Structure 1
Amino acid sequence: YDVPIATLDFNSLYPSIMMAHNLCYTTLCNKATVERLNLKIDEDYVITPNGDYFVTTKRRRGILPIILDELISARKRAKKDLRDEKDPFKRDVLNGRQLALKISANSVYGFTGATVGKLPCLAISSSVTAYGRTMILKTKTAVQEKYCIKNGYKHDAVVVYGDTDSVMVKFGTTDLKEAMDLGTEAAKYVSTLFKHPINLEFEKAYFPYLLINKKRYAGLFWTNPDKFDKLDQKGLASVRRDSCSLVSIVMNKVLKKILIERNVDGALAFVRETINDILHNRVDISKLIISKTLAPNYTNPQPHAVLAERMKRREGVGPNVGDRVDYVIIGGNDKLYNRAEDPLFVLENNIQVDSRYYLTNQLQNPIISIVAPIIGDKQANGMFVVKSIKINTGSQKGGLMSFIKKVEACKSCKGPLRKGEGPLCSNCLARSGELYIKALYDVRDLEEKYSRLWTQCQRCAGNLHSEVLCSNKNCDIFYMRVKVKKELQEKVEQLSKW
């Protein structure tokens, strides 16, 4: 959507529903009780949308609504103090307090629906969610019926998406400030249709807004029409832990180019460049690491579980249950779960990663989900179509291959060296001084790079005068340091043969 989308949010929706409709263990009744006591509907009791009976506050106020009232009042006080406080430390304390109170209030609904908990009451939890669904639908109907051309507005409002406690409205205007004003007005109007303390507030607008499907969207987050607050994302792979970090990096860059820079062509060019880098193995291994928690039992073999067992057999130690296992997928024709390998082992042994896996199983679907609504499914899928050519190299044994012998290659042109020739062939020998200096420069550059990484690790450890003992496999610098060290050793070894 290339027009502002106003977001209307219910404040503390589930706790508010429980307070407004007096939902509690102590107020739950049934049809027989209502008939026996001759109670009047809506005055003495209510029937929830899913058919449960609860008495109103006229008869008895529930214990849960009283508890929730105190929690929400305390949260309001904490938020007020937070707005007035200037000291950063105290602001963090107050923010932590209001978040703790929010979680406490929401957990009151949570434990009523937990069948394995201490106080389950499905009549309460199902009534709360049923009220929530009807309120979202009522809000949608009220907004679309009021804000329309028939009532004197410039455009017909359309609710483009409704979530658990929020409704996203397209008022039709291209002016952000006007959309935010209409959102504020609509929130006040809809709030009058519900019982106290249920309250609908306008908090933010998205402009532009990319809605992929249910619970998955992204957009520029505005609370002030003069400047956007941030690039907001919900439910996308860029914020999930079961994908490699390359997915997050690419998706964030693509979203930034599409939503902030409004440069769709630039986003597509970046995706193609990334695909090219993956296929040519130019992506740092730290960006290809997948991390998953090791569980006690699995019905089917899982890559990280198989790797954990292999590491224990190979090294004598390995991840335990509850630990996160980092792995990359390496090339080969074996089953996927047998191709998971420790990133450090891959680096130290020059093992090739499976670039096809990362292209099709990690990057393809998340990127297509973002760009397909803009450029169409056909063009989006076309970016990931890569042609492969198989070259028959002949048999390794017998025939012509039996005459092939392995010979040393020239350090410069990589051509074969004749018997008795040194590190350079006869064609490159005249440039030996120039090539040797270039090799020295390559070694020096790698030494400087390794020194910078080493110093960075020392600073992280808090000591610039001791050995780096860190082996944190969750750190990108760790893998860069190992990779550069190996490249440096190989260059020095080549130089020694000069």
Structure 2
Amino acid sequence: MAATATVYMLWSERNERMYNVFQQLEIDYVIGERNKELLPNSSGPAAILRIFGVTREGHSVCCNVHGFEPYLYMSCPPGMGPDDVSCFHRSLEARIKEDYRVKNIKAPQFVLRIEMVHKRSIMYYQQQQSHLFLKIVVVLPKMVAICRDILEKGIQIDGFGTKCFLTYESNVLFALRFMIDCNIVGGNWIEVRSGKYKKATKPMSYCQLEFDCLYPYVHEVVLRYSELNSHAPEGEFSKMAPFRILSFDIECAGRKGLFPEPTHDPVIQVANLVTLQGEDHPFVRNIMTLKSCSPIVGVDVMSFDTESEVLLAWR
């Protein structure tokens, strides 16, 4: 028990001056309210990206990235100007509001803006270097698919009639879109510029360190004003962080010939091994059991009276 207590104590310690550099393991997103401190002029729901990782010192990190917006492209109809884009914006907004998939979403607007940009399609041979496209920026990731459906089935545009449009990059997953735009690859090291992040006031994870930062139109790692830097796996950043790897086995009081069901078959034990990345032997060995259990050599045995106590202790 003394060794285990020491491990818990070490896990709780951290150097907060160094936690802005970490190796990322996973990126996902949640839907929540916009951060008023980082985005004072916006309101309503937003997609908040969460980057999970581990620092060089072995501390778990959750970096909440605010301000990255989902988008898709479509070909710009010939002859369309800025005034026509504003009219198209209103038409698309109205069509989205009619869609059943947004009836429970409370947002000031669904289409945040539409920009005219020069891009080049990779389909077919083209002599021209670039063409005019419309970049449609929406409030939530699910709006991308809704916009795609509306545009591909046809939409009425004043002065242009009802037209169907081919969309581009409309099937790119939101987290992947973020990784592409920030040059982030799986398992690389991320650095958030000092002074450009704030400790999370409402943590969304169980990580030891959690902070919020703003996505300031980061498209290339070399941008001087990037708050979020993605390091190439070279030199110092080719090393692995000291990940703690949990291996576990859950046993239930099963009935013969039937797959366990939560309502009938309680969890009777959870066995755990925790190994440090690169080490051969685990430094934590324990088992949490329902009711009593005989001692096991080299294993910390913890017994509980109810299933809920077992599961809460394991959490």
TM class, shorter-length:
under 0.3
Higher Rg of the two aligned structures? 1
TM superposition score normalised by structure 2: 0.28
Task: With a CA cutoff of 8 Å and minimum separation of 6, indicate the structure with the bigger relative contact order.
Answer: 2
Larger strand proportion, structure 1 or 2? 2
Task: Give the structure with the larger helix fraction.
Answer: 1
